[in-house]
């Protein structure tokens, strides 16, 4: 079968590329960057060439372009555009790093107005998940390191964390919900109060088309099973930032997996990301990773 013949249905493409079917349909309707054929039953059939195009677009979105920017690049990529594009990507990454540092400076100076303006500027240039992961994410790491080194006070940490939690939380709530897509419950693990990491991940999931139920800070261990029973989600994600809380978090995951074998359970957070390989190996199937590429791969393997 040639690369120009349709042979993949939309479910296969969704699994192969880690993109929700609804998101794929929306891209096609709005941007018409590919035109899959239809079989006798009216179902979409994608070719190998379509797969290449979609992989290219997804890569650009993961690197911070909006889908409209990625499609525009695709359309203009016929005449030696690749070199220009790589230069643009490099420039974007430098710009993002600078914006992250400037936002951190504003927060550590308790300058809320300046911080609001810098974050608004970042959102005007990049997709929400790009800002959350690549602008806000590094700030969380730097604040944690500064606090542990006694270079900033708990007051600085609380002000910065509360500011970022408020902005990202409002964004999560304002995003549209598609109740026809897989449901994902996101919550901090037992005794965990640091929720910004799981909040950033929730934004990423929602932008990928998942129906996200965000619970935030730790709830009682028994209540996690209550919410699973009530909502019947396809996914449960828990974060763990403190190593002392890892055993209790893993215990809940093991118990729920035994009771609900079809429930996909993912664990993330600083404590898990920094585990030595030998300690991480027994729980590797749960670990979702620390960046959008890791998350995309985990979701693709558990769809």
Region of residue 232 (left: phi > 0; alpha: psi -120 to 50; beta: else): left
Residue 44's pLDDT is what?
86
What integer is the mean pLDDT of 280-289?
92
Nearest CA-CA partner of 239 in 204, 205, 288: 288
CB atoms within 10 A of CB 219: 15
Q: Output the CA angle 222-177-268, nearest 5 degrees.
A: 45
- The answer to whether residue 87 scores a pLDDT higher than 70 is no
- The answer to whether residue 291 scores a pLDDT higher than 60 is yes
Work out the angle between the directed axes of helices 154-174 and 137-148 (0-180°, nearest 10).
160
* Range with the poorest average pLDDT among 4-8, 85-89, 126-130, 166-170: 85-89
User: Above pLDDT 90, what percent of the chain?
Assistant: 32
Mind listing the pLDDT tens digit for each residue in 45-71? 888 888 888 888 888 887 777 888 888
- The answer to whether residue 79 scores a pLDDT higher than 50 is no
What integer is the mean pLDDT of 20-33?
84
* Pure H helices in 131-276: 137-148, 154-174, 196-207, 221-231, 246-259, 270-273
Rounded to whole angstroms, the Cα distance separating 171 from 156 reads: 23
Residue 144's pLDDT is what?
79
Mind listing the pLDDT tens digit for each residue in 207-255? 888 999 999 888 887 888 899 999 999 999 999 988 999 999 999 999 9
- The answer to whether residue 165 scores a pLDDT higher than 80 is yes
Residue 179's pLDDT is what?
74
Residue 163's pLDDT is what?
93
Mind listing the pLDDT tens digit for each residue in 242-284? 899 999 999 999 999 999 999 999 999 988 988 888 888 999 9
- Long-range residue pairs from 289-295, CB within 8 A, at least 24 positions apart, any chain: 291/133, 292/62, 292/129, 292/133, 292/204, 293/62, 295/201, 295/204
Mind listing the pLDDT tens digit for each residue in 126-164? 777 788 888 888 898 888 788 878 898 989 989 998 999
Q: Which two tokens stand for residue 229?
A: 């029973």
Higher pLDDT: 26 or 75? It is 26
* Range with the poorest average pLDDT among 22-36, 82-96, 181-195: 82-96
User: Above pLDDT 70, what percent of the chain?
Assistant: 92
Residue 142's pLDDT is what?
87
């Amino acid at each position: 079968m040639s690369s120009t013949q349709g042979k993949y249905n939309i479910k296969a493409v969704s699994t192969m590329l880690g993109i929700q079917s609804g998101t794929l349909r929306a891209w096609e309707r709005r941007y018409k960057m590919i035109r899959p054929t239809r079989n006798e039953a009216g179902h979409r059939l994608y070719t190998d060439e379509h797969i290449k195009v979609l992989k290219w677009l997804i890569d650009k979105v993961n690197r911070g372009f909006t889908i409209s920017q990625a499609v525009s690049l695709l359309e203009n990529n016929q005449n030696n555009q690749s070199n220009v594009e790589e230069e643009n990507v490099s420039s974007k990454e430098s710009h993002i790093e600078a914006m992250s540092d400037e936002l951190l400076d504003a927060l550590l100076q308790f300058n809320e107005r300046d911080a609001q303006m810098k974050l608004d500027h970042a959102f005007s240039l990049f997709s929400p998940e790009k800002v959350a992961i690549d602008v806000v994410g590094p700030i969380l790491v730097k604040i944690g390191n500064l606090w542990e080194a006694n270079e900033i006070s708990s007051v600085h940490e609380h002000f910065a964390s509360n500011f970022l939690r408020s902005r990202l939380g409002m964004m999560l709530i304002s995003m549209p919900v598609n109740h026809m897509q897989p449901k994902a419950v996101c919550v901090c693990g037992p005794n965990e109060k640091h929720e910004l990491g799981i909040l950033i991940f929730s934004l990423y999931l929602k932008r990928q088309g998942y129906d996200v139920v965000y619970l935030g800070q730790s709830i009682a261990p028994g209540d996690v099973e209550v919410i699973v029973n009530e909502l019947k989600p396809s996914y449960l994600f828990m974060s763990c930032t403190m190593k002392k809380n890892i055993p209790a978090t893993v215990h809940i995951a093991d118990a729920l997996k035994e009771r609900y074998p079809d429930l996909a359970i993912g664990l993330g957070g600083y404590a898990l990301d920094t585990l030595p390989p030998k300690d991480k190996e027994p729980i590797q199937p749960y670990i979702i990773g620390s960046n959008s590429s890791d998350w995309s791969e985990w979701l693709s393997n558990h769809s």
